[in-house]
A = this chain, B = another copy of it.
Amino acid sequence: MGETLNPKKSNLKDSDVAVVAMAIRRASHMTTSLSLAPELQVLTWYNTDRPLSLAALRDRVVVLVAFQVLCPQSIACGVPQAQRIFDTFEPSDVAVIGLHATFEHHDAFSPSVLRAFIHEYRLKFPIALDQPNDRGPIPHTMECYKMRGTPSLVLIDKLGLVRKHAFGPCDDLRIGAEIGALTQESARSSKPARVSAA
C-alpha cells in the first residue's frame, strides 16, 4: 500500500525532447527518473462540458486520482481526498481529475454505477472513465501509467512531468505540501521546486 516508483520508461513524442532534457536535470531533486505524463485515454467524461487533455493543462499542477467504486480504500480515502484537494486549491492553479480505472469486477461495473456514485457522493471535480482494454482487464490509462491498483495518486507538474506516483492512502499534510510546492514552480523555469516533505 506504499508509494511506487515513477514509471521507469518515459513516453515521448519528438516535441518533448526539450522538456525531457529539463526533466533530467530535475531528476536528482525529485525522483530517480522523470517522465512525461501519458495522455489520458477516456471512454466517457463526467463533470465537465468537454474532454480534458493533459497537454492543455500544461501550466497547471494536475492531481490525477485513480479509483474504483467497489474499492474500499478508494471510497474511504482516495475519493474524499480528491474532493478536498479540489475544494482547497484554485482551479487555475491545480486541476483535479478523477480516473475510474476499472480493473476488477467488470461484471458488476457499468457507466451507470459511476454516474450514480458521482451523484450520490456529490463529487464536483472532472472524472474520466478509463478506456477499456480489449487485451485484458487493465484499462488503457491505468496500464500506461503502470498503476499498481486503486487508489493511486499522480502529481503532474506544470511542464507535464510526473513528479509523484503513490499507491494507497496519502497523508493530507504531505500531499498539500507537495502540491503547494509544485504550484510555485514556473511553467517555463528550468529550476524545479524541491518538494520538501521528508
Q: Please give the residue numbers on chain A whose beta carbons come within 8 Å of chain B beta carbons, in ascending order.
A: 70-72, 75, 81, 84-85, 87-90, 93-94, 105, 107-110, 112-113, 115-117, 120-121, 171-181, 183-185, 193-198
Contact = CB atoms under 8 A, between A and B. Distances in A.
Nearest to A171: B88
Copies in the complex: 4
Nearest to A121: B72
Given A89-B198, A172-B176, 10 more contacts: A81-B173, A88-B174, A105-B116, A105-B120, A108-B115, A176-B176, A177-B179, A177-B183, A179-B180, A181-B184
Given A176-B174, A180-B176, A71 B185 contact: no
B94 A105 contact: no
